[in-house]
Amino acid sequence: MKKKFFADETGFYRQIFKLVLPIVIQNLLSAAVSSADIVMLNYVGQSSISSVSLASQYANILFMVYYGLGTGATMLCAQYFGKGDMHAIEVVEGIALRFSIVISLAFASVALLIPELMMKVFTNDQELIVLGASYLRFMSITYLCWGITEVYLSVLRSIGRVTVSMALNILAFSLNILLNAVFIFGLFGAPKLGVMGVAIATATSRIVELACCFLVSFFSKDIKLNFRFMFIRNKLLFQDFVKLSLPALGNDVSWGVAFSTYSIIIGHLGSDAVAANSFVIVVRNFGTILCFGIASAGGILLGKVIGENRLEAAKEDAKKLMKLTILSGALGGLLILAVTPFVLRYATLSETAMHYLKYMLLINTYYVMGAAVNTTLIAGVFRAGGDSRFGFVCDTIDMWCYAVPLGFIAAFVFKLPVMWVYFLLCTDEFVKWPWVLKHYRSEKWLNNITRDNLFEEKALQ
């Protein structure tokens, strides 16, 4: 008798849904904040939307840095949690904080001192440069808070405490949306600050979120947010973190910078294309929420199972995760298709921008399937087994040897119409499918990366 497609003898689906729900709520709120920015700035003007959209590309890149560091921490922490070694988790948290704080300080300094140059990378429109620079300068204060918060929340998620992480995000995102309205529209006697209001709202919410992390840490019985962990030395764990995290970090930064380069290409095709793409990014984020939530939750569960050294069970769980991914990718595409008429009805853009918006949204109805499969395998399954190198190599070749050159050639050499350039850029996820799926079937990603005797004298040097 054939097994049911979603047979669940091991309880994998029940476990993953418990993790997915809080993660999806977090991602939903994050997308809601981006949506709120765009919707509210829609009433301020097209230039405000475009400037914030371009300036936010730097935050997207920085998020990829934090996500890479968080992934390195999660890979190790999830497996050591399965092994039952909480002290190793504290050491890994400290290592991740060291990297995060140094990178955040460097990024904040650049945003504070030379934001105009940062904006010139994306556009030559002087109005967008001025608006975006004011936004970046005020945002610089948030980067340090964000870096610390992301590391701590990654560690909490790796041991299954996703509800705490969700609660903190709900607070921060809700505050962000409320303050957006206050400072954009001048509610309750506040001044109308437009683009600057978005920056103030984001900065305030990040500071509050970090304060709440310290509060959670104070009452936590297991994982603390403790800067003293940064000074614990363990040679073996540091080597493992660098070996696993740097390829993951390189992968996410390489992909993030390349994806932001798409905005550079689109940014030089005119403000109509930029404004349309601003709305598309928001809608696509909603369409990929479930996909990326499943990838994150699946990676945590697989890491724990592998840390328990149940490799055969991990193989079966990975197959179940792929079934969920395909389903979520299809649902994401249908969601984008369903909301397209509403977006087209309420967006107040120029006629040309509306034309771009319509067809960009239609392209994304199938694009999310490519993103769903690749994200689940590269950032979820492979990294759960300690394999971050494959994703780094695969994404770097795909983005920098194929997608980015293709976009530049299409836009600036052949000078193709905007929609053809956008279509070609959106082939990147499908080009790498054959190699990603082949690597998945090879099972070379399946490794128990935990160590014994970590805290003997020679390991602490």
Domain count, the chain: 1
Write out pLDDT tens, residues 226-277. 888 888 888 888 888 888 888 888 887 788 788 878 878 988 888 888 888 8
Mean pLDDT of 419-443: 94
By mean pLDDT, which of 92-96, 107-111, 123-127, 361-365 is the weakest? 123-127
Asked if residue 64 belongs to a domain, the reply is yes
**Between 57 and 419, the higher pLDDT residue:** 419
Asked if residue 1 belongs to a domain, the reply is no
Residue 378 has pLDDT above 50, yes or no: yes
Asked if residue 2 belongs to a domain, the reply is no
Write out pLDDT tens, residues 324-374. 999 999 999 999 999 999 999 888 788 899 999 999 999 999 999 999 999
Asked if residue 333 belongs to a domain, the reply is yes
Asked if residue 161 belongs to a domain, the reply is yes
- What average pLDDT does the structure give for the chain? 84
Asked if residue 124 belongs to a domain, the reply is yes
Residue 64 has pLDDT above 80, yes or no: no
Give the per-residue pLDDT at 2. Answer: 46
Asked if residue 225 belongs to a domain, the reply is yes
Asked if residue 457 belongs to a domain, the reply is no
Mean pLDDT of 23-29: 76
CB-CB contact of 353 with 272 (8 Å) = yes
pTM of the model: 0.75
Domain containing 193 equals: 13-451
pLDDT band at 37 (very low <50, low <70, confident <90, very high): low
Mean pLDDT of 144-169: 85
